[in-house]
Structure 1
């Protein structure tokens, strides 16, 4: 989908995104009667419009389509005056579409001469892939082991002197006992494993009590994490009697690592003489693994080894105008340089399927995307759900009235490059270029899946703010507006607000954001989510999760 923001920006009160649109977006609160200049055609607002919300530039009758980004994003359910607000009371979700703007084989790659020959400093794995981080992973096969995982987490943090919550614990003591009782602050210890980014611990609620398919999907996802290029090796804890058996995980790991290059230690509590013996054995494998991982140091790698997953969460009315197209421009640059992107969240692609199908490199890829989308929608329908339920109350308050409206903006995270492959949930990325991945729209379920399919860096756009991170893949947070970037500076890594204000074009900011990606991939920049130890992991129980 083409983006025409640049032709209609500046210090304006409102914005028309695409020349074919019949709505504009308010860039600030606008009172009724405000004079709007739409391409030289002035008209007054029929009512007050809240900032980030949309209003019509022509009168609409019931059944008329609402067009934004040049595609249909809704249908009027009652008359809407010219200059009237688009709301849930007068507009409903509609996937009726205009002709695709994209054409197979017509993509014009962006200029990337400034990045030709650029590298990032990564961890080269024996299988040829390159990681942007170097962690040891501790994994439970079933929720029964979550408590032991937490014991290991606390023991490792204490032993390494790397407790991320040290300051908060000190704060709690101060609040309860007063300043006088504060323990002296110990000087920071020298890092025992300077080339390791830490130990990551997963917990979840699955592994038993579900279907065979649930157990298999969990094992496939865990195998994707264990074999991830950012992971040096893993310690796996099993109870023993659960449905997700060790052999299932071994088989899934072997599919991804047929030569057995990744060290994995499997421990079973029901076969251990005691809990203490299990914890001792687990700690031994972790410390031995850290010593081995520490022998690997960062070395230069081409940008073609970067795999960036893209995600949005806490979206607002500006996300699809600034942060999402900005991230899409970064993905286009990376693809032009031989790298890869992964666009997920199938419910948030509903209404723009025709655009993505038109971008598929061949019929087989297009047919797989259509089949997975159809299967997902049918599954939702069987339990009385629909993709149109996707926008959250927060989305609606910020002007994302229909799912198609949200989807048109969400899809911009994938840029305009050709779709080379479509992956089902837990499938690993195999082809360089832009891939589509079947996931739900839930933020953490989707970022969890992106890492599981091989993303070694994630760009996460937000308009309302979210602290989401991932255990193995660094997550960079991009704010759609500068107010959020300032207010939540402890969780935001990059501000896309200048696009909305007309102060800086997308191309210039995309180059800067790609440079930040290279720094994060090289360990020169620590994403806010990593600094906050925000390591979210939620597997998708393959039901309906919109």
Structure 2
């Protein structure tokens, strides 16, 4: 029988994440009979194992727990031999908790002396907030106004000479005529009329009527979060008039966040206007006047305590929880140590690691709040015949994330190890500096939308498969878990965490580079790929079950 010894000369072949784990992760494809050394023992691979998938380090009987990251991530549904792959046919989701690794009041903050006194250049608002961008916002209170929003978008883009799709339109015209396609950008050297404004953002959505009162209130609170966001100078709001989400509901939600009325907001109701032409004319007037006012605000130094980073993952793979997510978590730990804040969301992707997060809560009150929101979410899912265990997508499973607990253990790494100082319900604004948890679904865009609505003025989004998404008002940085993705989708990815997998860089080293990239982005010195591609996704969460 031929014998293959896995070599770590050029790349690690497999990895045990935690000392208590009973599985290892294949970092590259492993052939049958490959022998892996694990703590002095030789493990022979039984059948082919694709990279990113896990294999057993000991014989597991039916009912035995599968442990990764030191926590339970599944249960064997049949005997699994040593060296055999962990799959959906032999393992199911389980949340039987092991003892938490974390302990309250025992966090060791990382050394951040290199960043002491470092600032970012942001937009200082009258209420004390600091933005990483400067936008005028145009929003509809109901989907009936989406068409008028689109009319305004096209009119403003044409007036400013700022059509984000002009190069694609030029490409399409050339293709139709059979002419050579010029792929160079056509905006080189274009003068900006408002150099201190990043643009006008137009939101559209499918909400505002036909739902419950709670749905309407949630939409208004979310829109208020965007209108009062530090990256927004002011807003123009369009209402039809008869919809469920009324203007007075939105104005009250805005007043809760901006009691002094410091943010300029202009309201227009179509059913109270003489004509559509009048509506468009009046709305355009407020937009152009707002741009002129916003342009008076220029970037100025601000402490890192004014930076709030929301963390998100989408299109995750088997490497996400080994490279990109822990690296982002280490970045958040550094920001928190410097007085800044992080927000970790996606409650369905925290299922199975609740005990770890509870052990990190600053006090019992914060822990009880987390338990209440998590249990309420789970009850709602159960009531409609759903479960958090339905969360992993086919792409996740194909890449080795076969149970929700396995996915959750890796996803939670984005939050680092710092104490949890607050737990927010959906649309609730972040008020405590430090790491906060936010109740949101696992849907990438719904969750990113929620992070920004609660105050994140920058978002880090990790992906292993590649996810082209962004946000209308907050810059989104994309982090690849593997270098193959970074090379395959360079127009989408901003940062490559792949060197961690290859053993060429440490998490701490890349975390410092990531924090510097965040500072450069917050200062306007770096323009993320999602911003360049105009990936402006906005989807409110209708508080049903969205896993």
List aligned pairs for 1:202-213, cutoff 5 A.
Answer: 202-213=203-214
The aligned counterpart of 2:31 is 31
The aligned counterpart of 1:165 is 165
In the alignment, the residues of structure 2 paired with residue 233 and residue 35 of structure 1 have an alpha-carbon distance, to the nearest angstrom, of: 62
List aligned pairs for 1:161-310, cutoff 5 A.
Answer: 161-179=161-179, 188-310=189-311
SS in 2 for 1:179: coil
In the alignment, the residues of structure 2 paired with residue 424 and residue 186 of structure 1 have an alpha-carbon distance, to the nearest angstrom, of: 42
In the alignment, the residues of structure 2 paired with residue 10 and residue 179 of structure 1 have an alpha-carbon distance, to the nearest angstrom, of: 47
Kept in 2, the 8 Å contact 1:9–1:501? The answer is no
In the alignment, the residues of structure 2 paired with residue 9 and residue 179 of structure 1 have an alpha-carbon distance, to the nearest angstrom, of: 51
In the alignment, the residues of structure 2 paired with residue 330 and residue 181 of structure 1 have an alpha-carbon distance, to the nearest angstrom, of: 42
SS in 2 for 1:80: coil
The aligned counterpart of 1:49 is 49
Kept in 2, the 8 Å contact 1:72–1:404? The answer is yes
Kept in 2, the 8 Å contact 1:221–1:539? The answer is yes
1:43 is displaced (CA, Å) by 2.1
List aligned pairs for 1:449-460, cutoff 5 A.
Answer: 449-460=450-461
The aligned counterpart of 1:522 is 523
In the alignment, the residues of structure 1 paired with residue 10 and residue 171 of structure 2 have an alpha-carbon distance, to the nearest angstrom, of: 45
Kept in 2, the 8 Å contact 1:303–1:338? The answer is yes
Cα 1:170–1:422 shift into 2, 3 Å: same
The aligned counterpart of 1:4 is none
In the alignment, the residues of structure 1 paired with residue 65 and residue 29 of structure 2 have an alpha-carbon distance, to the nearest angstrom, of: 25
1:174 is displaced (CA, Å) by 1.3
The aligned counterpart of 1:127 is 127
1:162 is displaced (CA, Å) by 1.0
Kept in 2, the 8 Å contact 1:15–1:25? The answer is yes
Kept in 2, the 8 Å contact 1:9–1:500? The answer is no
The aligned counterpart of 1:71 is 71
Kept in 1, the 8 Å contact 2:304–2:340? The answer is yes
Kept in 1, the 8 Å contact 2:148–2:280? The answer is yes
* 1:435-472 Cα distance to aligned partner (Å, 9 max, x none): 00000000000000000000000000000001110001
The aligned counterpart of 2:399 is 398
In the alignment, the residues of structure 2 paired with residue 221 and residue 134 of structure 1 have an alpha-carbon distance, to the nearest angstrom, of: 19
Q: Are 2:542 and 1:537 equivalent residues in the alignment? A: no
Kept in 2, the 8 Å contact 1:194–1:294? The answer is yes
In the alignment, the residues of structure 2 paired with residue 281 and residue 178 of structure 1 have an alpha-carbon distance, to the nearest angstrom, of: 42
1:180 is displaced (CA, Å) by 7.7
Kept in 1, the 8 Å contact 2:12–2:501? The answer is no
Cα 1:537–1:204 shift into 2, 3 Å: same
The aligned counterpart of 1:496 is 497
Q: Are 2:347 and 1:346 equivalent residues in the alignment? A: yes
The aligned counterpart of 2:412 is 411
In the alignment, the residues of structure 2 paired with residue 128 and residue 208 of structure 1 have an alpha-carbon distance, to the nearest angstrom, of: 34
Kept in 1, the 8 Å contact 2:167–2:186? The answer is no
Cα 1:17–1:394 shift into 2, 3 Å: same
Cα 1:433–1:30 shift into 2, 3 Å: same
In the alignment, the residues of structure 1 paired with residue 423 and residue 190 of structure 2 have an alpha-carbon distance, to the nearest angstrom, of: 46
The aligned counterpart of 1:376 is 377
In the alignment, the residues of structure 2 paired with residue 252 and residue 500 of structure 1 have an alpha-carbon distance, to the nearest angstrom, of: 46
CA RMSD of aligned residues (A): 1.5
In the alignment, the residues of structure 2 paired with residue 57 and residue 50 of structure 1 have an alpha-carbon distance, to the nearest angstrom, of: 16
SS in 2 for 1:483: helix
List aligned pairs for 1:472-483, cutoff 5 A.
Answer: 472-483=473-484
Kept in 2, the 8 Å contact 1:10–1:503? The answer is no
In the alignment, the residues of structure 2 paired with residue 367 and residue 27 of structure 1 have an alpha-carbon distance, to the nearest angstrom, of: 39
* 1:473-523 Cα distance to aligned partner (Å, 9 max, x none): 000000000000010000000000000000000011000000000000000
In the alignment, the residues of structure 1 paired with residue 124 and residue 39 of structure 2 have an alpha-carbon distance, to the nearest angstrom, of: 53
Cα 1:239–1:333 shift into 2, 3 Å: same
Cα 1:98–1:266 shift into 2, 3 Å: same
* 1:128-185 Cα distance to aligned partner (Å, 9 max, x none): 0100000000000000000000111111111111111111101111111222899x96
* 1:407-461 Cα distance to aligned partner (Å, 9 max, x none): 0000000000000000000000000000000000000000000000000000000
Cα 1:21–1:151 shift into 2, 3 Å: same
In the alignment, the residues of structure 2 paired with residue 69 and residue 355 of structure 1 have an alpha-carbon distance, to the nearest angstrom, of: 11
Cα 1:9–1:141 shift into 2, 3 Å: farther
Cα 1:9–1:423 shift into 2, 3 Å: farther
In the alignment, the residues of structure 1 paired with residue 444 and residue 9 of structure 2 have an alpha-carbon distance, to the nearest angstrom, of: 30
1:383 is displaced (CA, Å) by 0.2
- TM-score, with structure 1 as normaliser: 0.97
The aligned counterpart of 1:333 is 334
1:25 is displaced (CA, Å) by 0.5
In the alignment, the residues of structure 1 paired with residue 473 and residue 217 of structure 2 have an alpha-carbon distance, to the nearest angstrom, of: 21
The aligned counterpart of 1:83 is 83
The aligned counterpart of 2:4 is none
1:188 is displaced (CA, Å) by 4.8
In the alignment, the residues of structure 2 paired with residue 545 and residue 81 of structure 1 have an alpha-carbon distance, to the nearest angstrom, of: 36
SS in 1 for 2:386: coil
Cα 1:466–1:187 shift into 2, 3 Å: closer
* 1:220-278 Cα distance to aligned partner (Å, 9 max, x none): 00000000000000000000000000000000000000000000000011111111110
The aligned counterpart of 2:14 is 14
In the alignment, the residues of structure 1 paired with residue 190 and residue 459 of structure 2 have an alpha-carbon distance, to the nearest angstrom, of: 30
With 243-252 and 173-182 compared, the bigger mean Cα shift is at 173-182
How many equivalent pairs are there?
Answer: 539
- TM-score, with structure 2 as normaliser: 0.97
Kept in 1, the 8 Å contact 2:171–2:181? The answer is no
Cα 1:463–1:381 shift into 2, 3 Å: same
Runs of 4+ in 1 over 3 A off after TM superposition: 184-189
